Amino acid sequence: MFSISSLLSVVAWIAACASAPAEKRATPTLWLVGDSTMALHAASEGIQGWGVEIVNYLQAINVVNSAVSGTSARSYARDGWFYNLIQKVQSGDYVIIEFGHNDGGGNVTASATADLVGESLTATQTVTLANGSVEVVHTYTYAGMIDQIVAKGATPIVSSQTPDDPYENSTTIVYEPSRSVAYVDHFTAAVSLFSKYTAAVVNSYYPLDQYLHTNTAGATQMAWAFLSGLRCASADGVLASYVNSAGEGAGARCSYP
């Protein structure tokens, strides 16, 4: 298992972004970092991300949804989204990082979003993108993000990806990485929640493509599942004091089946 202290010594790319912790805000901010399953969508799209709905269950904390459709951890960092976000993070804030839907494949040459597989803190692969630019892809994108968040005096929260429609696809994560920060198993919590419903009900949450993107009702369910994941031991009590009375009804969902 890696530790925050060991990551600080090897993630060189954080140097350009990191700065001393700023003074705490009167009200902390929860920053959401992720892909389309978390992001805000226009009503005309017919889909919605769970990050839009989570605000209905929180109190005494500001929520800024900085999720970007189509991104992976790799592209979110490479394209400057995380750099822009970390400049605004202050001491006492929280940052949820949830990717996965666009990160797979393992072939970093063929895909501009695929992550380099593994837990090495030094492995890299240099690739040339379609636009001709050269990118050094590495295995420690999450680690680099975590280090920068911690350097700001903020709290990182790593969350597993939301599941595809469990009545159409897999119901398990086949590989779960080691970690030493607050972790929400959003995937398992959502599958556990959806197992209570019929296939017809769950399918109604995925109207556009029937497997990945949820509508507003589905996004609300995903937000509720995230609250359930917060109640598990791996989350270490993070955000507990910011869950409002409406969100208190979400019971722990830490395993499936």
> 146 near 153, Cβ under 8 Å?
no
Nearest CA to 147 out of 121, 125, 185 is that of 121
Quick check: is 41 catalytic?
no
Write the burial class of residue 117 (CB in 10 Å: 0-12 exposed, 13-18 middle, 19+ buried).
middle
Catalytic residue among 35, 36, 159, 160: 36
The DSSP string of 203-221 is HHT-TTTSSS---HHHHHH
Task: State yes or no: is 35 an active-site residue.
Answer: no
Q: Residue 43 is which amino acid?
A: A
Q: How far lies 169's CA from each of 109, 162, 227, in Å?
A: 27, 12, 23
Name the active-site residue from 41, 101, 186, 213: 213
Q: What count of other Cβ atoms lies within 10 Å of the Cβ of residue 240?
A: 11
Rounded to a whole number of angstroms, the distance between the first and last alpha carbons of the chain is 26
Catalytic residue among 19, 170, 209, 255: 209
Selection from 233, 244, 239 nearest residue 253 by Cα: 233
The letter for the amino acid at 63 is V
Active site residue 72: no
Active-site residues, by number, are 36, 209, 213
